[in-house]
Structure formats: C-alpha cells, structure tokens
A and B are shown apart, each in its own frame.
Chain A
Amino acid sequence: MVSLSDHESTSRDKQPESTAPAPTVGDRWRALPALVRFPLAALAAFAAILALTSVTGPTGDLRIGSVGYYMLAIAGLQLLIGYSGQISLGHGAFMFIGAYTMALLVLNQPALPLWLNMIITVVLSCTAGVLVGAATARLHGPYLAGATLALAVGLPALTVRYPELLGGSNGLAFSTRGAPASLAGVITNTQWQAAAVWGTTLIGLVVLATISAGRLGRRMRALRDDEAAAGLAGIPVGRTKVIAFVISAGAGGLAGACQAYLLGTATPSSFTVTLSLSLLAALVLGGLGSMWGAFFGAVALVYVEVWGEELAHALALDSNVANNLPIVFFGVLLILVILVWPRGLHGMASSLADLVRRGR
C-alpha cells in the first residue's frame, strides 16, 4: 500500500501547470499544506467539470453527474475499506437512506434550499452510521461483510412496509428546482444539476481526503494493518472503527441524496444488493488505498455500461446478448484487472506514469 502523498503526487498531472517538466512545480505543490492543496485541486476539478458540461448534451451531463455521486460513495467506501480495513457490503443502504431523506425533504418541505437538504441528509446518514457502526464494531472480516450485506437487502424492504410514507415499490418521484432564473440563458437545467452534484461531491472529497491525510487517517491505516498492534500502541480501536463507519455512511448518504436530486426519484429497485456489490467492485477496480481509485472506479461504473450498450448496438446483436453484454463486460474487466493489476486502474496508471517519467 502506498502512502497518500504518493497518490497526491499524481494529482499534479491534472493541474495545467504541471505539464511543464519542471520538477520544482510538483515539489512546491506537494509542499503545500493539505488544507490548501485539496481545496485548490477541487476548484480546478470543478472548473474542468463546468468546461466539460458546457460541451456535452443533457445525456452527457447526466452521466457526468452520475460519475460524481458514484465517486463520492466510492470515496466513502475507500475510507472504510481502503484505509480502516473494514469490508462493508452494505454501502447501498446508506445511499438508500440519503436518497429517501432527500426525496422526503423535497416533497414535504419544498421551501428548504438544496444545501440545507444536503446537510440534513449528512446528519441523518451519519446517525444511521453510528447505529450500524456501533452494532458491528466487534465484527471483523467476512462476519462484518455478511451483516452489512443483510442490511443492504433488509433496509429497502421498509418501503414496502410503509407504502404511505415511502411510496411502496414504486418509490417517490419529485421535481427539483433547476437552474436559478438569473442564470436561465447561461446554463441548462441538466448542467446546473451536474454542477450541483459535482460541487457537493468535491466538498465531500476534500473532507475525506483531509481526514485520511491527517491523524485519524493514520490511525485507520494502523488499524487496517494490524488491529491488535494498533490497540497496544494506544489507538482506540473501537472508536476509530466506528468513526470510519460514520464518515463513510455520511459520504454514502450524501451520494444517495445527489442521486435522488439528479434523477428526481428514489425507488427501492435502485438500491439492490447489486448496487452495494458494484460499489465495492468499482472501488477495487479503481484501486484501494487512494482517493484517485474512487475516480477511476466511478468512471468505470458509469461508462463501462454505456460502452457495452453502444457496442451491442453497433454490432446489432441479438437482444438477449445485447441486454447482458454490459454486465459480462464489467465482470470480465473486474477479473482481468485483479489478475493482472492487483492495485487497480489507479495502480496501473501510476506505474505507467512512472515508466514515462523514467524514460524521459
């Protein structure tokens, strides 16, 4: 596992000024304190997203927005699995909580602004995280995985139990306010939505990255590498585990709220076990132990399906084959990446970057 500063070094590849081969820029960038560096990187990424959505159509905006909320959810999972070493298969449950909180707030309190809804969602999903984290703090390995998996299956069943409140299996549909009137001619509604999702995501990522670069992150990594040794060294094992769970639940809930906001619906069928397992798969596919892994994983999660559909369409395949091509494609990609590049797409990218740097 590589330390965080190594991953952040790749972030200069995204910075426009780092294209020059002067190592001093990269060194100076890395010398910046995390509290300055992460927000700056997030601002640059936000500008890139704004530029990107100005050239894509509504479908493209929606996909870019989807990458945003998946990235936030996967980054939360990264903190939990990649840093603190607790394997959770129930992250979709927190997205479920977030999405339904968002939907209920919009439906019942339409006057509340979006940012307040997001904050309420984070508070609620963190509370759920405290409950689940405290209940599962003693579990480890496959036992934690099994318990969280049952959570991901059990929780969406609540919608069928309380159909008046949660809309049954059809879920809740609502319409959100689009772009503000003053910006009517400048950006479209979908652009505004994608930007709002990415703004939320990037704020969330800055928080997650700052936490994992600091003392708490170090404690989590110690816990992941050897729980007993970390405990002997004076790290509060139970509390750190629960805190990791709570933060990751908050990120998952926020991601769910973004999804509901982007799609305008919250349905139980979007929060199946498959979602939780896909998030884990995307995390490992992107690369464990680095926030960049979350980005690669989210892109793979959204675009492998898109490409699979396009490929099936281009080849004019039989509908049975075409419908199942994206899932087979994703599965094959997962197996290949684990067999060939166990450190995921991020590991592959950084070793390629190393090769290029050495060759120069």
Chain B
Amino acid sequence: MDQFINLTLNGLSQGAVYAALALSLVIIYQATRVVNFAQPALALISVYIAYTVSQATGSYWLGFGAALLTGLVLGAATERLLIRPVHGRSPLNAIIITLGLLLVLQGLAGMIWSNEPHSFAYPMDYRGRFSPSDWFALGSVGAAALMLFALYRFTPLGLRMRAAAFRPEAARLSGVRVGLMLTAGWAIASVIGALAGMLAAPPFIFPNVLDEVFIFAIAAAVVGGLENPFGALAGGVLLGLGMSYVSGYAGPELTTLAALAILVVVLSIRPDGLFSRPTARKV
C-alpha cells in the first residue's frame, strides 16, 4: 500500500510535467493546426537561459522568470518568422519547419553551452516522499492551467484568440487581428512549454534532456485529444500515473512500452482521443 501511494504521488508530479508540455502542444494545435515539434527546443533554450541567469545572479527565481520570458519571445518569433509563411499549405510543411527548428536550436544549444551535462538546480527541496519540489510542479502546472482557463473563458483577449482559432474569416470580419492572436497563442504556449522545461530538466541539463519528456507529452496530447486543453491535462496525468505504476511493479525498462500500450488502447477505442467531440466532415 505504501508503495502504491508513493508511485501515485510520483506519477502525479511526473504527469504534471507531461500535462504542461502537452497543454502547450494543444494550444498551438488549436490555433494553427500544427504539431509543434520545436516545442522541446524552445523550452530547452529557455531553460539554458535560466541556467545562465541563475549562474550570473545566484538566484533561481530570476532564472525562472528569464525562462518564461524567453519562452514568450521565442514562441512569438517562431510563429511570425517561420510558421506564418507556410500557413495554409500542407500540414507536413509546418511539421518539417518545426523539425528543422528543433535540430537547429538543439545544435545551437550544444554549440553555446556544450553537449556536456551541467548540473541544474531544483526549485526547492527535492528529497523525501512528495517533496516541496513535487508540490511546486503540481501547483505551478495547476495554476498555469487555471490562468489559461480564465484567460480563454473570461477575458476579451481570450475570446478573440478563440475566435481567431476556430472561425478566422468571421473573426477577421469583426475586426479581430487574427495574425496577432495566433502569435499570442504561440507565445502563451511557449511560456507553458518553458515552465514544463524548468520542471523536467533537473538535476542535469544537456541538449537532449527534454526529448523523452516531449515524446510522452505528444502521447499525452494525443491520448487526451489534440482539440481539447482539458484532454491534454487528463492525458498527462493518466500517462504519468500509468508509467509510474508500470515502472514500480514491472520494471523501469518497460515505461516507454507502457506509454505505447496506453496510447494503443485509448486510440483503438477512441481514434480522436478521449475528450474529442465528433466532427462532421464535408466531402
């Protein structure tokens, strides 16, 4: 029983990280219909900036702020400079652009900060069962999700962003600056991605540190349904818990296979993810 509780708590804090990165993927997918493969790289650069700022100032929280700010700028710049030109073309084009950006940014990170791992601090005490760090992971992701929900549901900006994502023509006719709203969506998503990176990176940071987390985040987003932010959160927690139990009871080498199994089972029952609504298609 004790082990079960430990595994559950562990799975929850891992799942929170997957959920955050999955959430950032879903926001971007909703806005521009692109699965953003560069998300781990944008987060990676943010975390490296945090590392540099923390080293220079000695304060973790200054670095944390710098990471979120970097995420904001990088996300906006990516949409403006790289995604906008291929908007409306085959979705494969945008996927390849983000893949290219992933390679470039990971390579640049290696060039600037070297491929060797640097030690990277936890935000708080990480020892013991459900440490303050784990609480921080759950709390910050929960807070980010709540703020996002409030933004989308209760503010004029959120309304415009939803309008731009779902009915771009009608939104444009009513005076919404659709392009700006899509950029804002990418920026917000990248901030959440940077948060996920800050939570996932410790204890070491190196150019490929976020790759594994990103795979699970994609799996979480797909399990939950790419159309639905709540689905991303639920998918992340489901995946985190499932992998934690498999790792604890059956062996840690099976975790990736467990993720695959969860994905296959969920998708064979619901091909569009758990929380998708059926859509009518015009021929």
Q: Chain A interface (Cβ within 8 Å of chain B)? A: 81, 87, 135-136, 138-143, 145-147, 149-151, 153-155, 157-158, 160-161, 226, 228-229, 232, 273, 277, 280-281, 284-285, 288, 320-321, 323-325, 327-328, 330-335, 338-339, 342
Asked, given contacts A284-B92, A321-B111, A324-B115, whether A335 binds B215 with beta carbons under 8 Å apart, the answer is no
Complex Cα–Cα for A6 and B283 (A): 28
Asked, given contacts A135-B268, A142-B35, A281-B100, whether A327 binds B107 with beta carbons under 8 Å apart, the answer is yes
Q: Which of B29, B100, B108, B253 contacts A160 (CB 8 A)?
A: B253
Which chain A residues lie closer than 8 Å to B222 at the CB level?
A: 142-143, 146-147
**Is chain A's interface secondary structure helix, strand, loop, or mixed overall?**
helix
Asked, given contacts A335-B97, A339-B85, whether A153 binds B256 with beta carbons under 8 Å apart, the answer is yes
Q: Chain B interface (Cβ within 8 Å of chain A)? A: 29, 35, 37, 82, 85-86, 89-93, 95-97, 99-108, 110-112, 114-115, 207, 211-212, 215, 218-219, 221-222, 226, 251, 253-254, 256-257, 259-260, 263-264, 267-268, 271-273, 281, 283
Which chain B residues lie closer than 8 Å to A334 at the CB level?
A: 96-97, 99-100, 103
Q: Measured between C-beta atoms, what is the minimum distance from A111 to chain B in Å?
A: 33
User: A335 to B221, Cβ gap below 8 A?
Assistant: no
User: A342 to B89, Cβ gap below 8 A?
Assistant: yes
Q: Measured between C-beta atoms, what is the minimum distance from A152 to chain B in Å?
A: 9
User: A281 to B99, Cβ gap below 8 A?
Assistant: yes
**Is chain B's interface secondary structure helix, strand, loop, or mixed overall?**
helix
Q: Measured between C-beta atoms, what is the minimum distance from A139 to chain B in Å?
A: 5
User: B215 to A81, Cβ gap below 8 A?
Assistant: no
User: A324 to B111, Cβ gap below 8 A?
Assistant: yes
9 tightest A-B contacts by CB? A331-B103, A334-B100, A146-B222, A328-B107, A331-B104, A154-B260, A324-B110, A324-B107, A335-B100
Q: Choose among A140, A226, A323, A335 the residue with the greatest number of B CB atoms under 10 Å from its CB.
A: A335
Asked, given contacts A331-B102, A335-B104, whether A143 binds B97 with beta carbons under 8 Å apart, the answer is no
User: B260 to A228, Cβ gap below 8 A?
Assistant: no
Which chain B residues lie closer than 8 Å to A320 at the CB level?
A: 110-112, 114-115
Which chain A residues lie closer than 8 Å to B86 at the CB level?
A: 338-339, 342
Q: Measured between C-beta atoms, what is the minimum distance from A174 to chain B in Å?
A: 24
Q: Measured between C-beta atoms, what is the minimum distance from B99 to chain A in Å?
A: 5
Q: Residue of B at shortest CB range from A140?
A: B271
Complex Cα–Cα for A149 and B96 (A): 15
User: B257 to A146, Cβ gap below 8 A?
Assistant: no
Which chain B residues lie closer than 8 Å to A154 at the CB level?
A: 256-257, 259-260
Complex Cα–Cα for A277 and B260 (A): 18
